[in-house]
Homo-oligomer: A and B are copies of this chain.
Amino acid sequence: MSLPHAVLTSLLEKASSGFDLARRFDKSIGYFWQATHQQIYRELARMEALGWIESEQAADAGKTRKREYRVLPAGRDELVRWAAEASAPMDLRDSLMVKLRASANINSIDMRAELEAHVQRHEAQLSHYRAIEERDFSALTGMSRQMKIQHMLLKKGILYEESSMAWAREMLALLEAPDS
């Protein structure tokens, strides 16, 4: 159950409203943990009831209901406690692999178009990551420990995209090859 802790981590970096959190989830932390705004609002309410976070009307709320959430010591403690737990290995549920396996058994299934789309998606994501790397992590010296860790997380994404793309290209080559 990592969603509350992902939210806590994000709030720790910057006190925010639910809406801003949802937007941030679409970017940085969302590459490793996605959440819809409904989930986030639900968790914020739950965590406030538990005393892990507190909120007040946002400075720029105007007449809207915008609230800003902040992590309380109890929330910080909970994050430390949770981090010490053993984490289960990530579960892979890749429907493309299931389809490819089906295509190995049924000749009329042609996965080439979908693999091509797949390659393109990985390509786009990769260049997106690389742009972030260039922008935020190109300094050669003086990176703080925090920055170095953040950079490694980005690199994880880059490695994933690179290896997925290379593999998909090889798979595509196999499917394009004449059936000898």
Query: For chain A, what secondary structure do more than half of its interface residues adopt (helix, strand, loop), or is it mixed?
Result: helix
Q: Answer whether residue A136 sits at the interface, using C-beta atoms and an 8 A cutoff.
A: no
- A24 to B99 Cα, complex, angstroms: 17
The distance in angstroms between the C-alpha atoms of A73 and B45, with both chains bound, is: 50
Known interface pairs A34-B93, A87-B96, A91-B34; A105-B167 also in contact (CB < 8 Å): no
A103, CB-defined interface residue at 8 Å = yes
In the complex the two chains form, what is the Cα distance from A163 to B148 in whole Å?
19
User: A88-B95, A101-B9 are known contacts. Are A163 and B159 too (CB-CB below 8 A)?
Assistant: yes
Q: A2 contacts the other chain (Cβ, under 8 Å)?
A: yes
Q: Residues of B contacting A140 with CB < 8 Å?
A: none
Residues of B within 8 A of A106 (CB): 12, 76, 79-80, 83
The stretch of A51-59, A61-69, A127-135, A149-157 in contact with B is A149-157
Bitwise interface map of A from 78 to 89 toward B, beta carbon under 8 Å scored 1, else 0: 011011101111
A138 within 8 A of B: no
A83: contacting residue among B91, B111, B155, CB under 8 A: B111
How many of A's residues come within 8 Å of B, CB to CB? Answer: 64
CB–CB A32/B98 < 8 A: yes
Q: Is the CB of B156 within 8 A of A2?
A: no
Between A and B, 20 residue pairs with Cβ closer than 8 Å are: A2-B93, A5-B99, A32-B94, A32-B97, A33-B94, A33-B95, A34-B91, A79-B109, A83-B99, A83-B102, A86-B117, A88-B95, A90-B92, A101-B150, A104-B145, A149-B174, A152-B170, A155-B167, A156-B167, A163-B163
